Chains A and B, each alone.
Chain A
Amino acid sequence: MYRYWKKRFATTLEQDEELEAIKKELKKLVKKKFGGSLAIRMVDSGSCNACEAECNALSNPYYNLEELGIHFVASPRHADVMFLSGVMTFNMYHHAIDCYNQIPSPKWVIAIGDCVKDLGVFEKTYAIKGNSIEVTHYIINCPPSPKDIIYGLLKFAKKV
């Protein structure tokens, strides 16, 4: 059964050598700096859902982030890093900050997408507060592709 599936996936998967090199380096850094395990809690503070879709894509067989020891966790209390996306709406403001406070220290925030930085194409309205949580690293683009995110994680891992 295993061999059957391996064959099925191996024959159609397109290999990206640049991505493989980034992943290899990132895996080493995760091992060195985070004991081989980096837990991420994703919080959407008012995005269009494209950033979430790209983060979901990180688990597909093309990117397979889990093999690097990086995984998305269900609770902020299990997390090292918070992924923050969206414009930070008035109605999400307190919840997002609450989530941040629940993450045990040491903790870092990585911003996903242009919205967190400068609202992207959106403009300030009464319903948008804007982010006030301190961000360690910005991964920009609208939305950043899975490759952008993995590369951003590498830059982040080098930084801390």
Chain B
Amino acid sequence: MRLIARFAQELQNGIEIVDVYDKEVQKSLLSFESLKIETLTKKYPSAIWMERKINDEFGVEFIDSFDTRPLIKHEHFPSDIYPLRKDFNATEINFTEYKPYDYEAIGGDGVFQVAVGPIHAGIIEPGHFQFSQAGEEILHLEIRHFYKYRAIEKMCEGKEPMNIKKIVERISGNESVAYQIAYVEILAQASNTEIPKSLKQKYSTLLEVERIIHHLTDIGFIANDVGFAPALALGSKLSEEARRVFAKITGHRFGFGAIKEEITIDFGSLIEFLNYLEKELEFFRDWIYDIPSVWDRFDTTGKLSVEKAIKYGVVGVGARASGVKVDARDNDFYKNFGYQMQLGKKGEVSDRFKLRFNEIFNSIEMIKNFETYDNEGLEFGNFKDGEYSAFTESSIGELFMYLKIENGLVDRFFVRDPSFINWQAFHTTIYKDIIADFPLINKSFDLSYAGSDL
């Protein structure tokens, strides 16, 4: 079984820990008097961030856990509050005295630490990376995130389900459409309706366009990280063109607010662009596949082994490049429209780079099949109380979303971004690579900080 998420929610008589696996959901209720439960980390190492987060937010203790350091509570964060409990309503807290964080570090002769972040040299999101180095070689890396922790989960509580849609679509800008689709699916479940097939085709079209834009940007930036700037010029040009087409069909360059109850897509101009893109991309591929100095850096770098990918439950591009068959699109609906799972072999930077090319070609093929001019809409009725969940394949990987409605209001909102899992497996890929390759490996996964931090 693959662990998808472990999260907590407060009920009247205690705190419930929900474990979501790919085949089942397990729930355990802990009474307020004894907030203790067995850790899952022995079997599922990627449960560790989930458990540290629950401990920070609810004060639940995990028995036999190998890591009990705070996760979201940084140096100045008060340690005596449990913000996701229902009795916590403050919107302002004060900084406390500086408490140092105990980083994982490897000792030994000549081994030294390199601290990177939270503010990085490029235009990227904040996060901290602590390297243990033996000369140029990386021995270990600890990733420390949650600098962008905005408490989205708490922000959504107590609101009407329709009112948090605008927040949900801005959790992670690069995956906005995926978040919106997951949320609309949940709302459809809650009002006991089904999304009509033609509308689903349109949603999927927008999701694939979002994936194409994300992959195009990455292709340029990955090559740029080995110093091959012409690829960035071409990749960023193509992604800009794709984004403009996206803006034309959705009204927004990132598709904020694009997933509505009723949408019309100008398939004609979209497919015309895709035909052009396909040709450009074939040129791009044939050109860059022939440049040996690029592949010299891509090959054997940042290897995510199949064993580690399965052990950590890695999802999305990262998993598929290692040959692990995980994709939320792997179902009959998508297969009928030409979906083919793209797989890599070794899980190196080169595999992830090639996989992005292959996925774009597959996405283009699917969009051409998604073409529809039916105008079926979706109508939400009253949202019934209950617990709902949905999965979507964002451009990074499998997204899991959970919503609990009580008395018509949001009682608990939870998202497990694909990055949240993949970040935790990241340190296994860099062992004995040189530190100068770190940005390259990081970009080849291209994970979200905002989605992971929430």
Cβ-defined partner of B155 (8 Å) among A48, A54, A123, A142: A123
B286 to chain A, nearest CB (A): 14
Among A5, A72, A74, A121: residue with most chain B CB under 10 A: A121
Given contacts A59-B236, A121-B166, contact A143 B93 (CB under 8 A): no
A62 to B238, CA, bound (A): 10
A95 to B239, CA, bound (A): 32
Q: Does A157 contact B (CB under 8 A)?
A: no
Closest to B146 in A: A91
A99 touches B155 (CB 8 A): no
DSSP majority for the A interface? Answer: loop
A47 to B76, CA, bound (A): 21
Within 8 A of A (CB), among B243-301: 243, 253-254, 256
A89 to chain B: which residues have CB within 8 Å? 147-150
Cβ-defined partner of A91 (8 Å) among B81, B148, B253, B448: B148
A46 touches B155 (CB 8 A): no
The stretch among A20-28, A31-39, A125-133 that forms the contact with chain B is A125-133
Cβ-defined partner of B150 (8 Å) among A60, A94, A95, A122: A122
> Interface size (A, Cβ < 8 Å)?
50
B185 to chain A, nearest CB (A): 21
> Interface size (B, Cβ < 8 Å)?
51
A93 to chain B: which residues have CB within 8 Å? 76, 95
B310 to chain A, nearest CB (A): 29
A9 to B280, CA, bound (A): 11
Within 8 A of B (CB), among A75-108: 75, 86-87, 89-96, 99
The stretch among B17-25, B35-43, B117-125 that forms the contact with chain A is B117-125
Q: Does B102 contact A (CB under 8 A)?
A: no
Interface residues in chain A, defined as those with a beta carbon under 8 Å from any beta carbon in chain B:
5, 9, 12-13, 42-57, 59-62, 72, 74-75, 86-87, 89-96, 99, 120-128, 142-143, 145
- Name 25 A/B residue pairs within 8 A (Cβ), A-sorted: A44-B126, A46-B150, A50-B256, A53-B217, A53-B254, A56-B236, A74-B122, A89-B148, A89-B150, A90-B76, A91-B148, A92-B126, A94-B95, A121-B166, A122-B155, A122-B170, A124-B91, A125-B150, A126-B81, A127-B72, A127-B149, A127-B150, A128-B151, A142-B256, A143-B173
